[in-house]
Structure 1
Amino acid sequence: MNHRFLSIAGLAAAMAFTGGCSAGKVVPDASAPPVAVVEPAPAPADSVPAWAPRKYEFNPSRTKKHNLLHTKLRVRFDWQKQYLQGTAELRLKPYFYPQDTLVLDAKGMEIHSVSLLKGGDGAPLKYEYDGKELAINLNKAYTRAEEYVVEINYTARPNELPAGGSDAITSDKGLYFINPLGEEPRKPTQIWTQGETEASSAWFPTIDAPNERMTQELYITVDPKFTTLSNGEFMYSRQNADGTKTDYWKQELPHAPYLAMMAIGEFAVVEDQWRGKPVNYYVEPAYKSTAKKVFGNTPEMMEFFSTKLGVAYPWAKYAQVVVRDYVSGAMENTSASVFMEDLQLNERELLDKNWDGIIAHELFHQWFGDYVTTESWANLPLNESFANYSEYLWAEHKFGADEAAYLQMDEMGQYLDEAETKRVPLIRYHYNSREDMFDSHSYAKGGRVLHMLRNIVGDDAWWASLNLYLTRNKFSDVEVAELRMAFEDVTGMDLMWFFDQWFMNAGHPELKVEDSYQSGQLTLRVTQKQDTAYAPLYKLPLEIAVWAGGKKTVYPVTIDEAEETFMFKVASEPQLVLFDAEQQLLGVVEHQKTDAEMVFQFRNVDQLAPKLEAMAALEEKLQDPAVLQMYQAALKDDYWRIRSAAVTRLSGLKEGQAAAVEPVIRQMAQQDKRGAVRADAILALAGWGGEKYKAVFEQAMRDSSYEASAAGILAYAGTGAPDAKQKLAQFENETNEEVALALATYYAVQGGPEKYDWFTGQLKQASGGQLYYLLQSFGAYLASNSQTNTPETIALLGDLARNSSQYYVRAAAYQALMVMSEKPEVKALLDEIRQNEKDERLLQLYGG
């Protein structure tokens, strides 16, 4: 699963946004997760750190009493009530010990009957049901050599389940009806499922644990206008006498119940293939022409991963479907991944966006998660760390070292942000909720740890070890020791030390590095500063790169003590000492360098992280000619993120100081080949006095890139030009989120009552991150346009605050209502929302 989430701290901080328009304000990217920067309060010296691991109840893997061999489902739907009418046939046998009772997970269902099937006959069985578990009294005690089949007739009622979810998976009701009655004109009618972690049992009775595996058949009865999708192969479609059709899907290889899926909608199916296997993309008809441009690298990814792993993609087909109002980023259901609607792009949006990362992530899960599955949620990094790292592997292969290095830097940042308030082992049996496992430890830290492991064993051993892990454990459930043993069996190395310190312990190394040079000898002192009450003393094999006399020399070292000194013979005083020359270490390194060393680092180290580090270290010293020249070089760098970073930092120069770089940045605003860089350059010009750049901004508003166009809109608005409202109004029918958010930012403070209809129209068609940000601007708009605080407005916000499936949207709507809290009816509505809200995250935010 690839998840997108807002933390409560970030949510609260974001809601303080006033919606003010500034030409220098970057338009939020609603296609990316709103990022929270958490600033923990400093703790007293003798207190437990805010991030210290907490002791929760031990959570082992599920005890296997029965072996679920096969599930056959027949389902149809009551769209009015949003119910699923189902018949489940489950074939099982005891795992080892004789059993006379079968307990199934079945959440929020109405159970109509339970029978034991023999041939074509069914004998009723007694059962007890508490709304969560179905306990069936079998007709006798079965041994592990005896199979039996039970049939359950049931109604699944997902909307009647208690609200639940997490930051990663915002709802856990398993089965979702989208616009079931067709009352929302801009939204298609769909049904889709989401099983992770244990929500498949909200739409069919099962043993809902990751260490269970089953083969599967699914018969889906729907209106013929709908296209269906499920795991495995499509076998046939049958027309029924009542005007419906029944589609039959069959999954012949075993997988975990949480990976079962179905999706139903009026999809366009764009066909592709890999090695003769179907590779199809299911999208809304409006996006049929661009589906292959979004997903079209999938066959190449399948070939790359299959070849490298030495294990061919194992499933009968691979389908990818985009659905509305999805509760996460994407999900790796076996042979049929589901994606959020953000992946539906038009031709112009494709100029700015590339979704290969999330596509690679879910595809790699087909091996790591589906073919080999974690035995318990405590071992989730065995799924997610690998899927996370696949994004790096694909970027390295397809887009080059810089793009891959940027992903690594981003992962490091995500983990270190989370580490300010949370430090736990990657593999952790003590957790409060299994949903807590879906964090930046399991994803971001885990991916970086795998990169270090690859660096230690070498590429050949890395891929050979993964091959052994997959082939030895195929169609089974695993724990972390099995990964370690695969690497040890291939390499002959004892890797317990690596797995212990990185997988089984919390925290990360915090190093202080000092270097000095005297009489032909370079001395390097390294101190491990992390608190060893909560983190280990690390063993760190890495490399030191030294430049002297224009020549680079690399020295391998192993750090394994609290304080160590290393000495190297160097003929002349070093121009630069680069700690961790391969830039592979997960941790925090404090290493003071002179300005001259930083400039040298930028110009001579051919890696992204050291270049960006030098730029960040010297951004306050642009008056130094050498530093300014370094930044001028950065403006011409081949990698667009270096150019972007240079523009952003140079934009802080005062107008009079910018003369040396202004012509180049002005040219970049119009001609840089990357839309994001053009956008940054436009906003930089806006900060230097927008009036004289009106023509540039006017051109930018018509840019082919939506990002650049949105920046042009903000920049032109910031000039105060008398025709700004008129110029901006021509973009009001544009559906792109960047443009819509740019307009909303301006209208929040400059739009009068006449912009009310535009705002409400946008709110009714937006979702997810875009809707979240629009609500913030709308709140600011309402504060300055009290005449628009009408019953219609209150009803619109009240509906979102009560009923949105995305908790952060409910919170943003609640915050917008607060603008009108002096009204008695709004105060009563806010009280009602607080009283009926079940999500603990929002109750914490609301103070309820």
Structure 2
Amino acid sequence: MKHRFLSIVGLATAMAFASGCATNKEATSASKSSDKSTSATTAAQTDVPVWAPKKHAFNPSRTRHHDLLHTTLRVSFDWQKQHLHGLAELTLKPYFYPQNTLVLDAKGFDIHSINLMKGLDGTPLKYSYDGQKLTIELGRTFTRDEKYIIEIDYTAKPNELASGGSDAITEDKGLYFINPLGEDPNKPRQIWTQGETEASSAWFPTIDAPNERMTQDIYITVDKNFTTLSNGTFVYSRQNADGTKTDYWKQELPHAPYLAMMAIGEYAVVKDKWRNIELTYYVEPEYKNTARKIFGHTPEMMEFFTKKLGVDYPWAKYAQVVVRDFVSGAMENTSASTFMEDLQLNERELLDKHWDGIIAHELFHQWFGNLVTTESWANLPLNEAFANYSEYLWTEHKYGPDEAAYAHLDEMSQYLDEAETKREPLIRYQYADKEDMFDSHSYAKGGRVLHMLRKLVGDDAFFASLNQYLTKNKFTDVEIAELRMAFEDVTGQDLMWFFDQWFMKPGHPELQVSHSYQNGQLQLNVQQLQDTTYMPIYRLPVTISVWVNDKKTDYPIEVTKSLQSFTFPVNAKPQLVLFDGEKQLLAVVDHKKAQEELKYQFYHSKQLIPEYEALNVFTQNPKENLTLLQDALKNDFWFIRSMALNAMSDMKDAQPSLVNQVQQLAKQDKKGTVRADAVLVLAGWGGEKYKSIYEAALNDSSYQVAAAGIIAYAASGAEDAMQKLKRFEKEKNEEIVIALSSIYAMQGGPEKYDWFMQKLKQSRGSGLYYLLQSFSAYLATNSESNTPETIDVLADIAANHNLYYVRMAAFQGLMVMSDQPGVEEKLQKISANEKDKRLTDMYKQALQQNGN
């Protein structure tokens, strides 16, 4: 599973319209004295940090009373009611102890009949059902040597389930009908499923736990114009007398029930191949010609991962399907990954972006998560940390060390942001809800911990250990100890200390580093400042890189104490001392350096992260460091160029040489992001002065640059600005739409109302979220647009959209019009019917504040 690629810049702002919903970023710990971490027996703080691990009930893996061996499903659909009619045949046997009762997960079904099958003959069985658990009396006691088959005739009604989910997986109703009646001309009709965490049991009865495994047959009956996809091999398609067809998919190797899937729609299916494995890319027909460019690195990824792991891709085929209104970023269903619609890009959009990260993530899950599966959600990082780290591995291989380091920085930032308010062990059995496991700990922190493990044991041992882990545990469920033992078996090392401090303990090191030189000796002091009430004193093997007379020397050290000093013989005063020379450590490091040393670091470290760290200091005072920033504009890596540009945005009196340099970047830089940043810097400097560059940006091949041109030209005060922007109004590209909406929100009058309404109908996902934010601002300044039509459109989105943050944004728009007739009642009704716990309290508080 990959988080939806939505940073939701401004989501906190949007949520803050209800008091108490903004993130609490008060002081995260009591003041830190210089000797606070001198021992693990430090006295407990009187104030509990906001991030302190929370105490919850213990959540073990599911006890296995029965072993689910095989599932056969025959399904058809009622599009009008959004129901699935299913006939399920489950083959089981007692796991060890004799059993006379079977309990299945079955959420929100109508149960029509249950039979114990012997050949084609069925014996009705007694059962009880509470809407969540189906308890079946088997009629006699079965032993672990006896298989039996249960047939269940049922109807699944997913839209009648209470809504749940998480930030990573926004809904959990298992089965989704998209535009079921075909009433929306901007959206195809589709059906798709999403099983993780335990939502497969919302569309078929099963033992919905990650430590269960089954093979499966699925027979899908649909109208003949639809294409179907499921796990495993496509066996046949049978034409039926009523004009429908039945497609048969067979999954011959066992996998967990949450990995079962279906996708149904009118797709273009683009075929590819890796070795003797068929690859298919399911996209909407409009994107048939770009599907190979979107997913085209898949064969190379499969070869790369297979060779690195020494374990062949394990499944019969690999399909990748894009669906509308997906509830996450993507999902690694066995042999058939599902992706959010954002992956569908046209030729021009592909100039600015690719989705290799998310594609690699789901592909790597086919080994880590599908071939070897976590036994419980407490061990989720055994799935997600590996998938997260695969993005780094692929980026390093395909795009080089700077792009990999940039990805590393981004993931580190995600975890450290979350750590401001939450610090839990990676492997945590005590959680309030299993969905809480889908956070930046399991993903971003987990990936960084694996990177440290790789650096600790070396590449050969790292991948040999992964081979051992996969080979020994294939088609089984695992916990963290089995990963540790694989590494210990390969390396001969006792790695309990590493796994204990990084997987089983919360938090991260907080280090204060200083260095000094005297009489041919470099002294380095390292102090661990983290709160040891909650976190350990870490054992940290790191490299100290020292430059003397322009020559770099690496010194390996191991930090093991709260306060530790190291000395190194050097023949002159160092020009640079770089703690953690490989920049692999997951830690907050405060290492103050003189300006000259930081300059040397920027120019000579030849690594992205040290360059970034030095440049980040110099961007605080751009005028005083202009020469270095101008040099940064020439850096080989686009992110450094963009950093330097963004630091210059307030320099209204820029020197001619700098202006010329920025103009050249706006016109010629090979990276669209940098061209766009340069255009926006010029917009901040000059109004109409750089009008010709803004006009050129409007015609740039990159949508990103064109969007910057829209903002810059509108901000220039040019009299023809609105006329110039009008030609973009038919564009569907998200960046263009968001740029226009931000301008029209403040400068657009009643004549832009129809444009907003059209885009509200066309936009989706994150694009719709941002558009709704602009539309709310537009409504606040155009009261004549507060019409019954507007109210109905926003109310429909707020009540019915599948993404909770989109519903929230529409609710916010309605709040702007709360003084209009009937709006108060609609807000109250939407609030009362909202089932998502992330919104219910927020709505209640918002309405109370509004006087309702």
> Is 1:640 matched with 2:638?
yes
> Deviation at 1:845?
2.0
Tell me the alpha carbon deviations over residues 103-146 of structure 1, each in whole angstroms, 9 at most, x when there is no partner: 00000000000001101111111111110011010021000000
Partners of 1:833 and 1:658 lie apart in 2 by 56
When residues 37 and 667 of structure 1 are mapped into structure 2, their CA distance, relative to the original with a 3 A threshold, is: farther
State the TM-score, normalized to the length of structure 2. Answer: 0.96
Once structures 1 and 2 are overlaid, which stretch shifts more, 68-77 or 668-677? 668-677
Partners of 2:129 and 2:561 lie apart in 1 by 58
Partners of 1:827 and 1:454 lie apart in 2 by 57
> Is 1:787 matched with 2:773?
no
Once structures 1 and 2 are overlaid, which stretch shifts more, 635-644 or 706-715? 635-644
> Is 1:762 matched with 2:759?
yes
Partners of 1:652 and 1:7 lie apart in 2 by 25
> Deviation at 1:12?
3.7
Cα contact 2:619–2:644 (8 A) shared by 1: no
When residues 490 and 56 of structure 1 are mapped into structure 2, their CA distance, relative to the original with a 3 A threshold, is: same
When residues 8 and 603 of structure 1 are mapped into structure 2, their CA distance, relative to the original with a 3 A threshold, is: closer
2:716 to 712, 716, 719: 719
User: 1:393-408 alignment to 2 at 5 Å?
Assistant: 393-408=393-408
Counterpart of 2:700, as a letter, is D
Counterpart of 1:803, as a letter, is N
User: 1:483-632 alignment to 2 at 5 Å?
Assistant: 483-624=483-624, 627-632=625-630
Partners of 2:490 and 2:641 lie apart in 1 by 43
> Deviation at 1:651?
2.2
State the match for 1:23 in structure 2: none
State the match for 1:27 in structure 2: none
Cα contact 2:100–2:142 (8 A) shared by 1: yes
| SS of equivalent residue, structure 1 residue 92 | strand
Percent identity, aligned pairs only?
Answer: 68
Tell me the alpha carbon deviations over residues 655-686 of structure 1, each in whole angstroms, 9 at most, x when there is no partner: 22343311011011011111111000000000
Counterpart of 1:516, as a letter, is S
Once structures 1 and 2 are overlaid, which stretch shifts more, 327-336 or 605-614? 605-614
Cα contact 1:114–1:150 (8 A) shared by 2: yes
Partners of 1:710 and 1:527 lie apart in 2 by 47
State the match for 1:753 in structure 2: 750
2:704 to 688, 704, 707: 707
Partners of 2:785 and 2:331 lie apart in 1 by 41
Cα contact 1:38–1:417 (8 A) shared by 2: no
2:25 to 39, 54, 61: 39
Partners of 2:227 and 2:98 lie apart in 1 by 43
> Is 1:733 matched with 2:730?
yes
| SS of equivalent residue, structure 2 residue 653 | helix
State the match for 1:650 in structure 2: 648
Cα contact 2:426–2:504 (8 A) shared by 1: yes
State the match for 2:249 in structure 1: 249
| SS of equivalent residue, structure 2 residue 673 | helix
Tell me the alpha carbon deviations over residues 154-195 of structure 1, each in whole angstroms, 9 at most, x when there is no partner: 000000101111111000000000001100001000000000
Q: CA RMSD, aligned part only?
A: 1.4
Counterpart of 1:320, as a letter, is Q
| SS of equivalent residue, structure 2 residue 732 | coil
Cα contact 2:175–2:194 (8 A) shared by 1: yes
Cα contact 1:4–1:168 (8 A) shared by 2: yes
Partners of 2:285 and 2:655 lie apart in 1 by 49
Partners of 1:331 and 1:199 lie apart in 2 by 13
> Deviation at 1:648?
1.2
User: 1:212-223 alignment to 2 at 5 Å?
Assistant: 212-223=212-223
Partners of 1:42 and 1:464 lie apart in 2 by 40
Tell me the alpha carbon deviations over residues 494-514 of structure 1, each in whole angstroms, 9 at most, x when there is no partner: 000000000000000000001
Tell me the alpha carbon deviations over residues 66-93 of structure 1, each in whole angstroms, 9 at most, x when there is no partner: 0000000000000000000000000000
Partners of 2:621 and 2:520 lie apart in 1 by 32
Partners of 1:660 and 1:7 lie apart in 2 by 36
Tell me the alpha carbon deviations over residues 528-584 of structure 1, each in whole angstroms, 9 at most, x when there is no partner: 000000001100001001111111111100000000000111111111100000000
State the match for 2:807 in structure 1: 810
User: 1:354-369 alignment to 2 at 5 Å?
Assistant: 354-369=354-369
Counterpart of 1:494, as a letter, is D
When residues 436 and 10 of structure 1 are mapped into structure 2, their CA distance, relative to the original with a 3 A threshold, is: farther
Partners of 1:591 and 1:569 lie apart in 2 by 20
Partners of 1:37 and 1:432 lie apart in 2 by 19
Partners of 1:373 and 1:799 lie apart in 2 by 40
> Is 1:820 matched with 2:820?
no
> Deviation at 1:268?
0.3
Partners of 1:601 and 1:41 lie apart in 2 by 32
State the match for 1:158 in structure 2: 158
Whose RCO is larger (CA < 8 A, sep 6+)?
A: 1
State the match for 1:415 in structure 2: 415
Cα contact 1:800–1:810 (8 A) shared by 2: yes
Counterpart of 2:711, as a letter, is L
When residues 592 and 455 of structure 1 are mapped into structure 2, their CA distance, relative to the original with a 3 A threshold, is: same
> Deviation at 1:8?
10
Cα contact 2:28–2:51 (8 A) shared by 1: no
Partners of 1:836 and 1:40 lie apart in 2 by 33
Partners of 1:557 and 1:652 lie apart in 2 by 43
Cα contact 1:37–1:417 (8 A) shared by 2: no
| SS of equivalent residue, structure 1 residue 319 | strand
| SS of equivalent residue, structure 2 residue 460 | helix
Cα contact 1:106–1:134 (8 A) shared by 2: yes
State the match for 1:112 in structure 2: 112
> Deviation at 1:639?
1.2
| SS of equivalent residue, structure 1 residue 557 | strand
Cα contact 1:5–1:167 (8 A) shared by 2: no
State the match for 1:283 in structure 2: 283
Counterpart of 1:847, as a letter, is K
Tell me the alpha carbon deviations over residues 431-459 of structure 1, each in whole angstroms, 9 at most, x when there is no partner: 00000000000000000000000000000
> Deviation at 1:6?
7.0
Cα contact 1:679–1:712 (8 A) shared by 2: yes
Cα contact 1:789–1:820 (8 A) shared by 2: yes
Tell me the alpha carbon deviations over residues 307-366 of structure 1, each in whole angstroms, 9 at most, x when there is no partner: 110000000000000000000000000000000000000000000011000000000000
Partners of 2:643 and 2:619 lie apart in 1 by 10
Aligned pair count reads 827
User: 1:330-409 alignment to 2 at 5 Å?
Assistant: 330-409=330-409
Any stretches of 5+ residues in structure 2 without a counterpart?
32-45, 846-852
User: 1:222-301 alignment to 2 at 5 Å?
Assistant: 222-301=222-301
Cα contact 1:322–1:339 (8 A) shared by 2: yes
Cα contact 1:334–1:370 (8 A) shared by 2: yes
Partners of 1:602 and 1:435 lie apart in 2 by 42
> Is 1:844 matched with 2:841?
yes
> Deviation at 1:10?
5.9
State the match for 2:42 in structure 1: none
Any stretches of 5+ residues in structure 1 without a counterpart?
18-35
1:798 to 795, 800, 805: 795
> Is 1:830 matched with 2:830?
no
| SS of equivalent residue, structure 1 residue 422 | coil
Partners of 2:333 and 2:792 lie apart in 1 by 38
State the match for 2:321 in structure 1: 321
Tell me the alpha carbon deviations over residues 359-403 of structure 1, each in whole angstroms, 9 at most, x when there is no partner: 000000000000000000000000000000000000000000000
Counterpart of 1:636, as a letter, is K
State the match for 2:849 in structure 1: none
When residues 42 and 305 of structure 1 are mapped into structure 2, their CA distance, relative to the original with a 3 A threshold, is: closer
Tell me the alpha carbon deviations over residues 757-790 of structure 1, each in whole angstroms, 9 at most, x when there is no partner: 0001000111111111111100110111111100
| SS of equivalent residue, structure 2 residue 810 | helix
| SS of equivalent residue, structure 1 residue 662 | helix
Cα contact 2:524–2:565 (8 A) shared by 1: yes
| SS of equivalent residue, structure 1 residue 688 | helix
Partners of 1:616 and 1:638 lie apart in 2 by 17
Partners of 1:561 and 1:535 lie apart in 2 by 13
Cα contact 2:28–2:420 (8 A) shared by 1: no
When residues 215 and 609 of structure 1 are mapped into structure 2, their CA distance, relative to the original with a 3 A threshold, is: same
Cα contact 1:40–1:421 (8 A) shared by 2: no
